[in-house]
Amino acid sequence: MVSFSKIKAIHLDVEPHTFDDWKENKEQYLGKYKVLVQTARVYCNDNNLELEISIPLHYPENIVKELFEICDKVYFMAYENIKTSYIIKKASNYNLKKGVIALRTNDFA
């Protein structure tokens, strides 16, 4: 039996949107990703762990809302498109008590 006494959460940073065929197979990838997150949720529940994920801002709103329901925390990877108006528009549709906006330093001068 694995001891998780010092571990609080599992964080998934799986990025199917980086695959070459993302545009053609987006629905399939998002479906598989959701199953992965649901499976991780069961594991986390069984082991008294929180579940966190990192996702880009461009995922469809319906999928993101489902992911927010499954996860304890969602990190939005606000990379490359760092316009404040875009980030606010995309992120304000969700329960930001569970959300984190992640930025990259190399996106700024």
* DSSP notation for 14-31: --GGGSTTHHHHHHHHHH
Beta bridge partners of 51: 10
Please give the pLDDT value at position 85: 86
- pLDDT tens-place values along the chain, 109 residues long: 566 678 999 999 999 999 999 999 999 999 999 999 999 999 999 999 999 999 998 999 999 999 999 999 999 988 777 778 888 888 888 888 999 888 877 766 6
Q: Do the Cβ atoms of 52 and 73 come closer than 8 Å? A: yes
| The model's pTM | 0.86
